[in-house]
Structure 1
């Protein structure tokens, strides 16, 4: 049975979960744009479009209390029914949705990854993490000063754009690979990201690991660089070395052990991890923080992958249950200690797998979301040629469920753009119709089809190869720069959405938002961090 919970009671339950007194999953099932425009601080984004595919990863134990947040529009009731079919047994709905949370006097925060972003700002305030402005860094570069720039983002982000001369070394790799990159104790080390969080965390990581070099965070990252009217480099291919020598590894491991002892970071052996994984009374996440290539080459059964820096930067993407246990693992403890160090400061019950994954890494390949055919059947496919003929005969209706940006940039003529959440309001489009779905996500298409079927469509099939197949066949596409209207685009966060496209107004708004997060915290939210 699904029950309702009021905002005050939910607030107290969140407080208890943050202190490890209970477990709780707070899932905001609105689309990404709606979530980003205002949600409770500890709410996790789990959009209804992919609910059944995402929820099992965020909430792996189906007995954990789950609270849904919507716009008081009935979406939570639909979500509860969907998760009941997956076996979830303890489901609640925030009475009145997000509007009721705000009406109760609690803050709805803009943006995403709130706990991690706010944590970065708190780290800078508490530890007085040293920084350097883009202007001062450029002066140092022009003078030929002894300085090195390490980019703490993912390699993919680095290649999109970076500070000229920088080297890609994701944050969790910094303490492991530092000696292999920097061989001069007099060299100034600058850590950057695109904004603030990973710059701060990366720099403070090296400081906490006892690096003797002068280490600073680049204030405001690549956005700060652009706001100084400085050019970014694109397509760079400078990466930290994959192989490190024995001396460098020994130094990294020694620093990690010293930090672990200083911070009282707990270790757990593989036997205990296996018992925890079987314990239905408590949620345990086993997260491998190595690179994706290392993970796919061999990982622990039941483990999921999250690059260590990203797990700290966006914890709520990977961990949906407050009050849960987290076991972080790698191959030599260095990266795991780095991540556990920060997760524990964030108030998480994080442990390091003693000795690394070793011979227990018996599973290979990636771990991808899965939907059984009982939940959402696989869809028959239709080719571009078959679709063209059916459209000519007016036999089918084309439904495009890709992002609104993709739809605006080009879609099959007369295709409808429809969100799964909006289906009950657009029944006239699908009722008694044969549908062809255009999608770049097979799971989303299957979930959409199941709901469309329940609302009375005649049949659903999937365009094989998606829009790319249609375009490759040189078929016509239709562009609609202003349709759907912005107000309908619930899947996109317009707030600062163009900051990485050169929009300086959005850059400034984003940085002001990030810096201003700490001032919005109430007492419960502030004390959830162990700083």
Structure 2
């Protein structure tokens, strides 16, 4: 395409400061994105564009600006978006190098707006915290203390403070009164690094709970750097609360939301917002995934509130859009909304819902374009073919899933790097493509067929179907056709990170406030 439409750093900054809707999309894989990107750039890799973009950028005439770092991915992404019906697509002038050359601030890591906001909250509110050594001393003395882990349950299970209880962020204000009924009990809130413990602690302070409360300074990273032992595989979770606790917490949360300027909507008002074709409106259910699956409002997406505040860019990828939150208790939506409002979002809580409104069941299903046609084969056919030479099996699942388990002989590849991958796999008489469900494999098959005359097949039902059939599996990085750039290795994940990486991550977080000031587009306003 000759002379593509471009937007400059100046254009993006002007729109951000005017609070206009925009989606600035980095179409590289997550690892290169995490190395450096503009503050409000969101990551939707070209590899997964068709699968993610309708949910993340729902309005087709949104001002979308795409960039890469010279790999040529953005131009391909622009073509695909136009084919999907997007009408206002441009490339960032000069790509990432152009942003840098124009003096634009660049940020490292993922979910940076949320993490930078957390640092600002602590700076402005002087959120109370205790060092790892102080918390260990309280636990050793069997003091009147409770440790609440504000991360997802799976993160908590991987590594946690001994004796800690899993209470994901949005649940804290709702559950704390029954986890620490004695107002003299010291409440400690932790996460892996800093953000969720700061936001969780400040949530309890903002809601006015009677207990002393403090963040575990620097989370499990700080705990590890202090030479203290973490627990693994803990199962302690919050329990249900009484109607009285729920009601009181609802009053506390509503007061915080009102102070933050959160808007109120009824279902009629929501319908009006959704009917406005000039604005993007996201509808998120911030309860637990289990509650959502059991019963939810039709059209809502499950995004637990703590993770929503931590990873806003991953679900609400149009900066300047409107966000509507809902729950069935008046606590979790109001507390989550209070934070989004402070982060510069136009956010409302959906009031007046009755039990009958939660009429849908099951997991959230992303909106998808029409799927490409593909020649499918079953598990038995693949098993037979793998006994012979000439069948090359390509797996497009995440690299983490591939390492965990994959079909024996499968080569791992990234869809956007197909041409490179083909140089590192054997000569094929036929290709068979898979991923977890074969959804992404269908799109990859369409791309691969354009590159080769060799027959291309898709495994029906994907690797999940292979596993369900009781077929053998392999583990490890057995056959990587391209490097594992699909996921950035977070320094606060897992238990085998070098100390230097952990300390470096903390130093980076401390520097975020200065970066926010230099960038100047954040629009954050701390209560």
1:284–1:430 Cα change, 3 Å: farther
The separation in 1 between residues aligned to 2:71 and 2:429, in whole angstroms, is 26
The separation in 2 between residues aligned to 1:360 and 1:220, in whole angstroms, is 41
Checking the alignment, whether the CA contact within 8 Å between 2:127 and 2:202 is kept in structure 1 is: yes
CA-CA distance at 1:249 after TM superposition = 1.7
Query: In the alignment, which residue of structure 2 is the partner of 1:191?
Result: 189
Match of 2:5, SS state, is: strand
Residue 441 of structure 2 is aligned to residue 445 of structure 1: yes
Q: Can you give the 5+ residue segments of structure 2 that lack an aligned partner in the other structure? A: none
Cα shift readout 1:37-89 (whole Å, capped 9, x = no counterpart): 11111011111111101001111111111111112222112112212222111
The separation in 2 between residues aligned to 1:396 and 1:156, in whole angstroms, is 37
The separation in 1 between residues aligned to 2:317 and 2:376, in whole angstroms, is 33
CA-CA distance at 1:252 after TM superposition = 0.8
Checking the alignment, whether the CA contact within 8 Å between 1:399 and 1:436 is kept in structure 2 is: yes
Residue 276 of structure 2 is aligned to residue 279 of structure 1: yes
Query: In the alignment, which residue of structure 2 is the partner of 1:268?
Result: 265
Match of 1:237, SS state, is: coil
Query: In the alignment, which residue of structure 1 is the partner of 2:318?
Result: 321
CA-CA distance at 1:280 after TM superposition = 1.0
Cα shift readout 1:311-360 (whole Å, capped 9, x = no counterpart): 00110111011111111111122111101100010001111112346432
CA-CA distance at 1:300 after TM superposition = 2.0
CA-CA distance at 1:389 after TM superposition = 3.9
Residue 488 of structure 2 is aligned to residue 493 of structure 1: yes
The separation in 1 between residues aligned to 2:347 and 2:103, in whole angstroms, is 32
1:219–1:379 Cα change, 3 Å: farther
Checking the alignment, whether the CA contact within 8 Å between 2:408 and 2:472 is kept in structure 1 is: no
Residue 504 of structure 2 is aligned to residue 509 of structure 1: yes
Residue 295 of structure 2 is aligned to residue 298 of structure 1: yes
Match of 1:437, SS state, is: strand
The separation in 1 between residues aligned to 2:216 and 2:407, in whole angstroms, is 45
CA-CA distance at 1:481 after TM superposition = 6.8
Greater Cα offset, 425-434 or 338-347: 425-434
Write the mapping of 1:13-162 to structure 2, written as runs, cut at 5 A: 13-16=14-17, 19-20=18-19, 22-162=20-160
The separation in 1 between residues aligned to 2:249 and 2:93, in whole angstroms, is 50
The separation in 2 between residues aligned to 1:285 and 1:467, in whole angstroms, is 31
Cα shift readout 1:405-426 (whole Å, capped 9, x = no counterpart): 5656776676544321122455
CA-CA distance at 1:489 after TM superposition = 3.0
Query: In the alignment, which residue of structure 2 is the partner of 1:518?
Result: 513
Match of 1:365, SS state, is: coil
The separation in 2 between residues aligned to 1:228 and 1:391, in whole angstroms, is 51
Match of 2:214, SS state, is: strand
Cα shift readout 1:373-414 (whole Å, capped 9, x = no counterpart): x4423551342x533543454343222323445656776676
The separation in 2 between residues aligned to 1:73 and 1:313, in whole angstroms, is 30
Query: In the alignment, which residue of structure 2 is the partner of 1:182?
Result: 180
Q: Can you give the 5+ residue segments of structure 1 that lack an aligned partner in the other structure? A: none
Cα shift readout 1:487-521 (whole Å, capped 9, x = no counterpart): x3321324637654353232222222222222222
The separation in 1 between residues aligned to 2:426 and 2:84, in whole angstroms, is 26
1:255–1:143 Cα change, 3 Å: same
Cα shift readout 1:79-125 (whole Å, capped 9, x = no counterpart): 12212222111111113221221122212211000000111111000
Checking the alignment, whether the CA contact within 8 Å between 2:157 and 2:234 is kept in structure 1 is: yes
Give the TM-score, by structure 2 length.
0.91
1:169–1:430 Cα change, 3 Å: same
Checking the alignment, whether the CA contact within 8 Å between 1:404 and 1:484 is kept in structure 2 is: no
1:230–1:97 Cα change, 3 Å: same
Match of 1:320, SS state, is: coil
1:431–1:85 Cα change, 3 Å: farther
1:483–1:129 Cα change, 3 Å: same
User: In structure 2, which of residues 440, 444, 451 is the aligned counterpart of residue 455 of structure 1?
Assistant: 451
Checking the alignment, whether the CA contact within 8 Å between 1:72 and 1:95 is kept in structure 2 is: no
The separation in 2 between residues aligned to 1:430 and 1:451, in whole angstroms, is 19
